[in-house]
Amino acid sequence: MLAHALQSWEPKPLQPRRRSGLYVRVVDPEEAAGVQALVANVDSPEALLHAVAARQDRQSFLALFRHFAPRVKAYLRRQGADSAVADDLAQEVMFKVWRRAVAFDAAKASAATWVYAIARNAHIDAFRRTRRPEVDMDDAALVADSRPLPDDAMAHGERAKRVQDALASLPAEQATIVRMSFFLHKSHAEIAKELALPLGTVKSRLRLAFGRLRDALHEDRA
Amino acid sequence: MIEHHVSDDLLLEYAAGALDEASSLLIATHLALCPPCRAVVRDAEAMGGALLDGEPPEAMSERSPNNVLERVARPPADPAVRANTHGGADRWAGANLPQPLRGYVAETLSQRPWRRIAPGLRQLVLGTASGPTTARLFHLAPGKRIPVHSHRGLELTLVLQGTYRDECATFARGDVAQLDDSVTHRPVVDPSEECLALAVTQAPLRFRSTVMRLIQPLVGV
Protein backbone atom coordinates (compact mmCIF):
# COMPACT_ATOMS: atom_id res chain seq x y z
CA MET A 1 0.00 0.00 0.00
CA LEU A 2 2.84 2.33 0.88
CA ALA A 3 4.81 1.45 -2.20
CA HIS A 4 1.73 2.16 -4.27
CA ALA A 5 1.33 5.63 -2.79
CA LEU A 6 4.98 6.30 -3.39
CA GLN A 7 4.55 5.76 -7.11
CA SER A 8 1.49 7.94 -7.24
CA TRP A 9 3.59 11.10 -7.33
CA GLU A 10 5.40 10.27 -10.51
CA PRO A 11 2.80 9.42 -13.13
CA LYS A 12 0.27 11.97 -11.94
CA PRO A 13 0.70 15.25 -13.83
CA LEU A 14 -0.05 17.65 -11.02
CA GLN A 15 0.53 20.77 -13.07
CA PRO A 16 0.31 19.95 -16.75
CA ARG A 17 0.48 23.59 -17.77
CA ARG A 18 3.84 24.20 -16.21
CA ARG A 19 5.20 20.87 -17.34
CA SER A 20 4.37 21.38 -21.04
CA GLY A 21 5.65 24.93 -20.88
CA LEU A 22 9.04 23.67 -19.86
CA TYR A 23 9.16 20.89 -22.40
CA VAL A 24 8.78 23.36 -25.27
CA ARG A 25 12.27 24.70 -24.73
CA VAL A 26 13.97 21.36 -24.45
CA VAL A 27 16.42 20.52 -27.20
CA ASP A 28 19.18 18.11 -26.27
CA PRO A 29 18.72 14.95 -24.19
CA GLU A 30 21.14 16.00 -21.50
CA GLU A 31 19.30 19.23 -20.93
CA ALA A 32 16.06 17.27 -21.07
CA ALA A 33 17.21 15.16 -18.14
CA GLY A 34 18.08 18.29 -16.18
CA VAL A 35 14.73 19.88 -16.89
CA GLN A 36 12.98 16.65 -16.01
CA ALA A 37 14.62 16.77 -12.59
CA LEU A 38 13.62 20.40 -12.26
CA VAL A 39 10.02 19.61 -13.14
CA ALA A 40 9.92 16.78 -10.67
CA ASN A 41 11.24 19.20 -8.09
CA VAL A 42 8.67 21.88 -8.96
CA ASP A 43 5.92 19.28 -8.54
CA SER A 44 7.19 17.94 -5.23
CA PRO A 45 4.80 18.68 -2.37
CA GLU A 46 7.58 20.57 -0.61
CA ALA A 47 8.01 22.87 -3.63
CA LEU A 48 4.24 23.33 -3.85
CA LEU A 49 4.12 24.37 -0.20
CA HIS A 50 6.87 26.88 -0.83
CA ALA A 51 4.90 28.28 -3.78
CA VAL A 52 1.86 28.71 -1.52
CA ALA A 53 3.99 30.43 1.11
CA ALA A 54 5.88 32.69 -1.28
CA ARG A 55 3.18 33.68 -3.79
CA GLN A 56 -0.12 32.41 -2.37
CA ASP A 57 -0.19 30.26 -5.50
CA ARG A 58 -3.67 28.79 -5.84
CA GLN A 59 -2.72 26.20 -8.47
CA SER A 60 -0.01 24.83 -6.21
CA PHE A 61 -2.48 24.76 -3.36
CA LEU A 62 -5.02 22.86 -5.46
CA ALA A 63 -2.34 20.29 -6.31
CA LEU A 64 -1.60 19.90 -2.60
CA PHE A 65 -5.31 19.69 -1.90
CA ARG A 66 -5.80 16.91 -4.47
CA HIS A 67 -3.06 14.88 -2.88
CA PHE A 68 -3.49 15.48 0.82
CA ALA A 69 -7.16 16.26 1.47
CA PRO A 70 -8.44 12.79 0.43
CA ARG A 71 -5.76 11.15 2.54
CA VAL A 72 -6.47 13.34 5.56
CA LYS A 73 -10.14 12.50 5.10
CA ALA A 74 -9.38 8.77 5.02
CA TYR A 75 -7.23 9.15 8.13
CA LEU A 76 -10.06 10.95 9.95
CA ARG A 77 -12.57 8.32 8.86
CA ARG A 78 -10.43 5.77 10.65
CA GLN A 79 -11.07 7.69 13.86
CA GLY A 80 -14.74 6.96 13.37
CA ALA A 81 -15.77 10.30 11.84
CA ASP A 82 -18.60 10.03 9.33
CA SER A 83 -17.96 11.18 5.79
CA ALA A 84 -19.41 14.69 6.18
CA VAL A 85 -17.54 15.39 9.42
CA ALA A 86 -14.29 14.02 8.00
CA ASP A 87 -14.77 16.15 4.88
CA ASP A 88 -15.28 19.33 6.93
CA LEU A 89 -12.32 18.59 9.15
CA ALA A 90 -10.08 17.76 6.17
CA GLN A 91 -11.03 21.17 4.75
CA GLU A 92 -10.11 22.74 8.06
CA VAL A 93 -6.74 20.98 7.94
CA MET A 94 -6.12 22.23 4.37
CA PHE A 95 -7.10 25.73 5.44
CA LYS A 96 -4.42 25.54 8.12
CA VAL A 97 -1.96 24.22 5.53
CA TRP A 98 -2.53 27.41 3.53
CA ARG A 99 -2.33 29.71 6.55
CA ARG A 100 0.77 28.11 8.00
CA ALA A 101 2.65 27.41 4.78
CA VAL A 102 5.11 30.19 5.62
CA ALA A 103 6.19 28.24 8.69
CA PHE A 104 6.95 25.09 6.68
CA ASP A 105 10.65 24.26 6.71
CA ALA A 106 11.70 21.55 4.26
CA ALA A 107 14.92 21.06 6.21
CA LYS A 108 12.93 19.82 9.19
CA ALA A 109 10.10 17.77 7.75
CA SER A 110 8.67 16.46 4.52
CA ALA A 111 5.36 17.97 3.44
CA ALA A 112 3.56 14.74 4.38
CA THR A 113 5.06 14.80 7.87
CA TRP A 114 4.14 18.45 8.30
CA VAL A 115 0.55 17.86 7.14
CA TYR A 116 0.35 14.81 9.39
CA ALA A 117 1.20 16.97 12.43
CA ILE A 118 -1.52 19.48 11.51
CA ALA A 119 -4.08 16.71 10.95
CA ARG A 120 -3.13 14.96 14.19
CA ASN A 121 -3.59 18.19 16.16
CA ALA A 122 -6.88 18.95 14.44
CA HIS A 123 -8.04 15.49 15.41
CA ILE A 124 -7.03 15.99 19.04
CA ASP A 125 -8.82 19.36 19.09
CA ALA A 126 -11.99 18.07 17.50
CA PHE A 127 -12.41 14.57 18.90
CA ARG A 128 -10.65 14.67 22.22
CA ARG A 129 -11.60 18.27 22.86
CA THR A 130 -8.31 19.06 24.54
CA ARG A 131 -5.53 21.35 23.52
CA ARG A 132 -2.34 20.03 22.02
CA PRO A 133 0.66 21.74 23.63
CA GLU A 134 3.27 22.35 20.93
CA VAL A 135 6.69 23.97 20.83
CA ASP A 136 6.61 27.55 19.57
CA MET A 137 9.58 27.76 17.21
CA ASP A 138 9.47 31.59 17.32
CA ASP A 139 9.61 31.76 21.10
CA ALA A 140 12.51 33.84 22.43
CA ALA A 141 13.00 31.30 25.23
CA LEU A 142 13.50 28.43 22.77
CA VAL A 143 16.96 26.88 22.94
CA ALA A 144 18.10 26.88 19.31
CA ASP A 145 19.69 23.87 17.66
CA SER A 146 23.36 24.49 17.05
CA ARG A 147 23.77 21.60 14.61
CA PRO A 148 23.12 22.44 10.96
CA LEU A 149 20.26 20.63 9.23
CA PRO A 150 20.40 19.28 5.69
CA ASP A 151 18.33 21.71 3.68
CA ASP A 152 18.01 20.74 0.03
CA ALA A 153 14.52 19.75 -1.00
CA MET A 154 15.71 17.01 -3.37
CA ALA A 155 17.47 15.16 -0.61
CA HIS A 156 14.30 15.55 1.37
CA GLY A 157 12.17 13.84 -1.24
CA GLU A 158 14.71 11.05 -1.22
CA ARG A 159 14.48 10.73 2.54
CA ALA A 160 10.69 10.60 2.40
CA LYS A 161 10.95 7.67 -0.02
CA ARG A 162 13.34 5.86 2.25
CA VAL A 163 10.96 6.25 5.17
CA GLN A 164 8.15 4.87 3.00
CA ASP A 165 10.28 1.87 2.07
CA ALA A 166 11.37 1.31 5.65
CA LEU A 167 7.75 1.37 6.83
CA ALA A 168 6.63 -0.93 4.02
CA SER A 169 9.28 -3.46 4.96
CA LEU A 170 8.40 -3.63 8.67
CA PRO A 171 7.28 -7.00 9.99
CA ALA A 172 3.49 -7.06 10.38
CA GLU A 173 3.71 -7.20 14.18
CA GLN A 174 5.61 -3.90 14.21
CA ALA A 175 3.57 -2.24 11.44
CA THR A 176 0.32 -2.90 13.32
CA ILE A 177 1.62 -1.18 16.41
CA VAL A 178 3.02 1.79 14.47
CA ARG A 179 -0.38 2.24 12.86
CA MET A 180 -2.33 1.95 16.14
CA SER A 181 -0.01 4.48 17.71
CA PHE A 182 0.42 7.10 14.99
CA PHE A 183 -2.90 6.74 13.27
CA LEU A 184 -5.32 5.79 16.02
CA HIS A 185 -3.37 7.72 18.68
CA LYS A 186 -3.57 4.97 21.24
CA SER A 187 -1.18 4.99 24.16
CA HIS A 188 1.28 2.13 24.50
CA ALA A 189 -0.75 0.84 27.45
CA GLU A 190 -3.96 0.85 25.38
CA ILE A 191 -2.24 -0.98 22.54
CA ALA A 192 -0.88 -3.58 24.95
CA LYS A 193 -4.36 -4.13 26.34
CA GLU A 194 -6.02 -4.41 22.94
CA LEU A 195 -3.46 -6.81 21.53
CA ALA A 196 -3.16 -8.72 24.82
CA LEU A 197 0.61 -8.17 24.81
CA PRO A 198 2.91 -7.21 27.66
CA LEU A 199 3.55 -3.44 27.70
CA GLY A 200 7.29 -4.09 27.31
CA THR A 201 6.67 -5.98 24.06
CA VAL A 202 4.67 -3.09 22.61
CA LYS A 203 7.38 -0.62 23.52
CA SER A 204 10.21 -2.76 22.19
CA ARG A 205 8.44 -3.43 18.87
CA LEU A 206 7.79 0.27 18.43
CA ARG A 207 11.39 1.07 19.29
CA LEU A 208 12.60 -1.48 16.73
CA ALA A 209 10.37 0.05 14.06
CA PHE A 210 11.55 3.54 14.98
CA GLY A 211 15.18 2.40 14.87
CA ARG A 212 14.74 1.16 11.31
CA LEU A 213 13.06 4.37 10.30
CA ARG A 214 15.80 6.50 11.83
CA ASP A 215 18.43 4.43 10.00
CA ALA A 216 16.58 5.12 6.76
CA LEU A 217 16.26 8.82 7.54
CA HIS A 218 19.90 9.29 8.42
CA GLU A 219 21.55 6.81 6.07
CA ASP A 220 23.53 9.59 4.40
CA ARG A 221 25.00 10.78 7.67
CA ALA A 222 26.23 7.42 8.89
CA MET B 1 23.56 21.27 29.22
CA ILE B 2 20.60 18.98 29.72
CA GLU B 3 21.58 15.62 31.15
CA HIS B 4 18.25 14.02 31.91
CA HIS B 5 16.05 13.62 28.86
CA VAL B 6 12.59 12.28 28.21
CA SER B 7 12.62 8.58 27.26
CA ASP B 8 12.18 7.73 23.58
CA ASP B 9 9.01 5.84 24.52
CA LEU B 10 7.38 9.03 25.77
CA LEU B 11 8.69 11.09 22.84
CA LEU B 12 7.13 8.52 20.49
CA GLU B 13 3.80 8.74 22.31
CA TYR B 14 3.97 12.55 22.17
CA ALA B 15 4.73 12.52 18.43
CA ALA B 16 1.87 10.09 17.89
CA GLY B 17 -0.59 12.33 19.74
CA ALA B 18 -1.26 9.58 22.27
CA LEU B 19 -0.55 11.52 25.47
CA ASP B 20 -2.92 13.50 27.66
CA GLU B 21 -2.70 17.28 27.72
CA ALA B 22 -0.74 17.59 30.98
CA SER B 23 2.01 15.17 29.91
CA SER B 24 2.14 16.76 26.46
CA LEU B 25 2.58 20.17 28.09
CA LEU B 26 5.59 18.96 30.06
CA ILE B 27 7.15 17.27 27.06
CA ALA B 28 6.58 20.23 24.72
CA THR B 29 8.19 22.50 27.33
CA HIS B 30 11.18 20.18 27.60
CA LEU B 31 11.40 20.13 23.79
CA ALA B 32 11.63 23.94 23.74
CA LEU B 33 14.77 23.59 25.86
CA CYS B 34 16.21 20.44 24.28
CA PRO B 35 17.19 20.34 20.57
CA PRO B 36 18.23 16.63 20.63
CA CYS B 37 14.77 15.56 21.85
CA ARG B 38 13.16 17.82 19.21
CA ALA B 39 15.12 15.88 16.57
CA VAL B 40 13.73 12.58 17.93
CA VAL B 41 10.16 13.90 17.74
CA ARG B 42 10.73 15.16 14.18
CA ASP B 43 11.93 11.71 13.14
CA ALA B 44 9.00 10.05 14.88
CA GLU B 45 6.50 12.33 13.14
CA ALA B 46 7.98 11.14 9.82
CA MET B 47 6.35 7.76 10.58
CA GLY B 48 2.99 9.53 10.72
CA GLY B 49 3.82 11.38 7.50
CA ALA B 50 4.66 8.16 5.68
CA LEU B 51 1.45 6.53 6.94
CA LEU B 52 -0.59 9.52 5.78
CA ASP B 53 1.03 9.43 2.34
CA GLY B 54 0.23 5.73 2.08
CA GLU B 55 -3.42 6.13 3.03
CA PRO B 56 -5.83 5.11 0.24
CA PRO B 57 -7.45 8.44 -0.72
CA GLU B 58 -11.12 8.98 0.04
CA ALA B 59 -12.89 11.33 -2.38
CA MET B 60 -13.54 14.81 -1.03
CA SER B 61 -16.84 16.55 -1.73
CA GLU B 62 -16.89 18.42 -5.01
CA ARG B 63 -17.20 21.83 -3.40
CA SER B 64 -14.39 21.30 -0.93
CA PRO B 65 -11.37 22.81 -2.77
CA ASN B 66 -13.34 25.96 -3.59
CA ASN B 67 -14.68 26.18 -0.04
CA VAL B 68 -11.13 26.37 1.24
CA LEU B 69 -9.96 28.78 -1.46
CA GLU B 70 -12.89 31.07 -0.69
CA ARG B 71 -12.03 30.93 2.97
CA VAL B 72 -8.38 31.78 2.48
CA ALA B 73 -9.36 34.72 0.26
CA ARG B 74 -11.21 36.33 3.14
CA PRO B 75 -9.09 38.55 5.35
CA PRO B 76 -8.12 36.78 8.57
CA ALA B 77 -10.22 37.60 11.60
CA ASP B 78 -8.41 39.27 14.48
CA PRO B 79 -4.72 38.43 14.50
CA ALA B 80 -4.50 35.10 16.30
CA VAL B 81 -4.90 35.82 19.97
CA ARG B 82 -2.21 33.90 21.77
CA ALA B 83 -3.24 32.35 25.09
CA ASN B 84 -2.41 35.27 27.39
CA THR B 85 1.29 35.57 26.91
CA HIS B 86 1.59 38.28 29.52
CA GLY B 87 0.34 37.22 32.90
CA GLY B 88 0.09 40.34 34.97
CA ALA B 89 2.46 41.08 37.79
CA ASP B 90 3.56 37.56 38.66
CA ARG B 91 7.22 37.25 37.79
CA TRP B 92 6.83 33.60 36.72
CA ALA B 93 4.63 34.72 33.88
CA GLY B 94 7.71 36.40 32.37
CA ALA B 95 9.98 35.26 29.56
CA ASN B 96 11.98 32.92 31.77
CA LEU B 97 9.44 30.20 31.02
CA PRO B 98 9.39 28.78 27.51
CA GLN B 99 6.20 28.28 25.51
CA PRO B 100 3.87 26.47 25.65
CA LEU B 101 4.19 26.56 29.46
CA ARG B 102 4.29 30.36 29.68
CA GLY B 103 0.83 30.62 28.11
CA TYR B 104 -0.65 28.04 30.49
CA VAL B 105 0.87 29.76 33.53
CA ALA B 106 -0.38 33.20 32.48
CA GLU B 107 -3.83 31.80 31.80
CA THR B 108 -3.96 30.02 35.16
CA LEU B 109 -2.68 33.06 37.07
CA SER B 110 -5.46 35.16 35.57
CA GLN B 111 -7.88 32.80 37.36
CA ARG B 112 -6.21 31.86 40.63
CA PRO B 113 -3.05 32.65 42.59
CA TRP B 114 -0.28 30.40 43.83
CA ARG B 115 -1.20 28.36 46.85
CA ARG B 116 1.11 27.85 49.81
CA ILE B 117 1.00 24.20 50.82
CA ALA B 118 3.89 24.03 53.31
CA PRO B 119 6.62 26.34 54.50
CA GLY B 120 8.87 27.04 51.50
CA LEU B 121 6.57 25.21 49.11
CA ARG B 122 3.96 26.76 46.84
CA GLN B 123 2.03 25.22 43.98
CA LEU B 124 -0.01 26.32 41.01
CA VAL B 125 -2.28 23.67 39.51
CA LEU B 126 -2.38 24.41 35.78
CA GLY B 127 -5.54 24.45 33.72
CA THR B 128 -5.22 21.32 31.61
CA ALA B 129 -8.10 19.06 30.61
CA SER B 130 -9.40 17.03 33.50
CA GLY B 131 -8.22 13.46 33.32
CA PRO B 132 -5.97 11.00 35.04
CA THR B 133 -3.05 13.42 35.14
CA THR B 134 -2.48 16.83 36.68
CA ALA B 135 0.16 19.41 35.78
CA ARG B 136 1.36 21.71 38.53
CA LEU B 137 4.17 24.14 39.07
CA PHE B 138 6.07 23.82 42.31
CA HIS B 139 7.99 26.71 43.74
CA LEU B 140 10.47 25.62 46.39
CA ALA B 141 12.57 27.78 48.67
CA PRO B 142 16.37 27.44 48.62
CA GLY B 143 17.46 24.37 50.60
CA LYS B 144 13.90 23.05 50.90
CA ARG B 145 13.63 19.35 51.70
CA ILE B 146 10.66 17.33 50.49
CA PRO B 147 9.71 14.45 52.80
CA VAL B 148 10.49 10.93 51.59
CA HIS B 149 7.87 9.77 49.14
CA SER B 150 7.24 7.39 46.27
CA HIS B 151 4.85 7.62 43.34
CA ARG B 152 1.76 5.80 42.30
CA GLY B 153 2.01 5.53 38.57
CA LEU B 154 4.33 7.72 36.55
CA GLU B 155 5.58 11.11 37.62
CA LEU B 156 7.46 13.52 35.38
CA THR B 157 9.26 16.55 36.77
CA LEU B 158 10.84 19.24 34.62
CA VAL B 159 13.13 21.76 36.29
CA LEU B 160 12.73 25.32 35.04
CA GLN B 161 14.92 27.22 37.45
CA GLY B 162 17.41 26.36 40.18
CA THR B 163 18.48 22.81 40.91
CA TYR B 164 17.51 19.98 43.18
CA ARG B 165 19.10 16.68 43.89
CA ASP B 166 17.89 13.39 45.23
CA GLU B 167 19.70 10.17 46.11
CA CYS B 168 20.39 9.47 42.43
CA ALA B 169 21.20 12.67 40.57
CA THR B 170 21.11 16.46 40.29
CA PHE B 171 18.48 18.14 38.14
CA ALA B 172 18.83 21.60 36.57
CA ARG B 173 16.92 23.71 34.00
CA GLY B 174 15.57 21.51 31.23
CA ASP B 175 16.26 18.22 33.02
CA VAL B 176 13.39 15.76 33.35
CA ALA B 177 13.07 13.23 36.14
CA GLN B 178 10.90 10.32 35.11
CA LEU B 179 9.85 8.35 38.17
CA ASP B 180 7.61 5.38 38.66
CA ASP B 181 6.31 3.49 41.67
CA SER B 182 9.62 1.69 42.17
CA VAL B 183 11.35 4.89 43.27
CA THR B 184 11.26 6.35 46.75
CA HIS B 185 13.19 9.56 47.02
CA ARG B 186 13.88 12.65 49.09
CA PRO B 187 14.58 15.65 46.87
CA VAL B 188 16.54 18.59 48.29
CA VAL B 189 16.68 22.02 46.65
CA ASP B 190 20.11 23.59 46.21
CA PRO B 191 20.61 26.04 49.11
CA SER B 192 21.86 28.87 46.88
CA GLU B 193 18.77 29.33 44.73
CA GLU B 194 15.01 28.84 44.76
CA CYS B 195 13.66 26.14 42.47
CA LEU B 196 10.78 26.13 40.02
CA ALA B 197 9.62 22.81 38.58
CA LEU B 198 6.73 21.52 36.53
CA ALA B 199 5.39 18.17 37.73
CA VAL B 200 2.90 15.90 36.05
CA THR B 201 1.46 13.20 38.23
CA GLN B 202 -0.87 10.36 37.48
CA ALA B 203 -1.87 9.87 41.07
CA PRO B 204 -1.23 11.50 44.46
CA LEU B 205 2.23 11.10 45.92
CA ARG B 206 2.69 8.40 48.56
CA PHE B 207 4.49 9.74 51.60
CA ARG B 208 6.22 7.38 53.95
CA SER B 209 5.34 9.40 57.05
CA THR B 210 1.87 8.88 58.50
CA VAL B 211 1.58 12.56 59.39
CA MET B 212 2.26 13.61 55.80
CA ARG B 213 -0.31 11.07 54.61
CA LEU B 214 -2.89 12.44 57.01
CA ILE B 215 -2.44 16.06 56.01
CA GLN B 216 -2.06 15.25 52.31
CA PRO B 217 -5.75 15.73 51.42
CA LEU B 218 -5.70 19.08 53.22
CA VAL B 219 -2.68 20.48 51.41
CA GLY B 220 -3.58 18.95 48.06
CA VAL B 221 -0.32 17.33 46.96
Q: Report the interhelical angle of A83-100 vs A45-55 (nearest 10°).
A: 60
Q: Would residue A53 count as lying in a domain?
A: yes
A175 plus A114 within the same structural domain: no
Percent of chain B residues past pLDDT 70, beyond the cut: 85
Q: Give the N- to C-terminal CA distance of chain A in Å, as an integer.
A: 29
Q: What is the CATH number of the domain that holds A78?
A: 1.10.1740.10
Q: Would residue A1 count as lying in a domain?
A: no
Q: Would residue A146 count as lying in a domain?
A: no
Complex ipTM, two decimals?
A: 0.85
pLDDT tier at A47 (50, 70, 90 boundaries)?
very high
In the 3-class helix/strand/coil scheme, how is B74-118 assigned residue by residue? CCCCCCCCCCCCCCCCCHHHCCCCCCCHHHHHHHHHCCCCCEEEE
The pLDDT assigned to B155 comes to: 87
A37 plus A121 within the same structural domain: yes
Q: Residue B217 carries which side chain, given as an amino acid letter?
A: P
Average pLDDT over residues A171-189: 95
A175 plus A116 within the same structural domain: no
A108 plus A181 within the same structural domain: no
DSSP-derived secondary structure letter, B32: H
pLDDT tier at A220 (50, 70, 90 boundaries)?
low
A97 plus A40 within the same structural domain: yes
CA distances from B133 to A14, B91, B130, B199 (A): 46, 26, 7, 10
| Nearest-Cα residue of chain B relative to residue A62 | B65
**Structural domains of chain B sorted by starting position, each given as residue range(s) with its CATH number in brackets:** 1-80+92-221 (2.60.120.10)
Peptide bond into B100 cis (omega under 30): yes
Q: Would residue A121 count as lying in a domain?
A: yes
Partners of B57 on chain A (C-beta within 8 Å) are 70-71, 73-74
The pLDDT assigned to A1 comes to: 45
The pLDDT assigned to A102 comes to: 95
A188 plus A105 within the same structural domain: no
A54 plus A120 within the same structural domain: yes
A107 plus A49 within the same structural domain: yes
Q: Would residue A93 count as lying in a domain?
A: yes
Q: Would residue A43 count as lying in a domain?
A: yes
Contact A187 B48 (CB under 8 A): no
In DSSP notation, A99-149 reads HHGGG--TTT--HHHHHHHHHHHHHIIIII--------TT-TT-----S--
Domain residues for the domain of A188 are 170-222
The residues with which B197 forms a beta bridge, in sequence order, are: B138, B159
> H/E element holding B191?
none
Q: What is the CATH number of the domain that holds A188?
A: 1.10.10.10
Q: How far is B54 from chain A (nearest CA, A)?
A: 4
Percent of chain A residues past pLDDT 70, beyond the cut: 75
**Model confidence pLDDT, tens digit, residues A118-160:** 999 999 999 888 899 999 998 889 999 887 665 554 566 677 7
Q: Would residue A140 count as lying in a domain?
A: no
The pLDDT assigned to B126 comes to: 93
Q: How far is A18 from chain B (nearest CA, A)?
A: 20
The pLDDT assigned to A155 comes to: 65
Q: How far is A153 from chain B (nearest CA, A)?
A: 15
Interface A-B, measured as beta-carbon pairs within 8 A, has a size of 224
Contact B53 A2 (CB under 8 A): yes
DSSP three-state, residue B196: strand
Average pLDDT over residues B197-208: 77
| Nearest-Cα residue of chain A relative to residue B49 | A113
Average pLDDT over residues A40-67: 91
A116 plus A188 within the same structural domain: no
Flag whether pLDDT at B51 surpasses 70: yes
A48 plus A124 within the same structural domain: yes
Flag whether pLDDT at B212 surpasses 90: no
Count of domains forming chain A: 2
Q: Would residue A87 count as lying in a domain?
A: yes
Contact B64 A183 (CB under 8 A): no
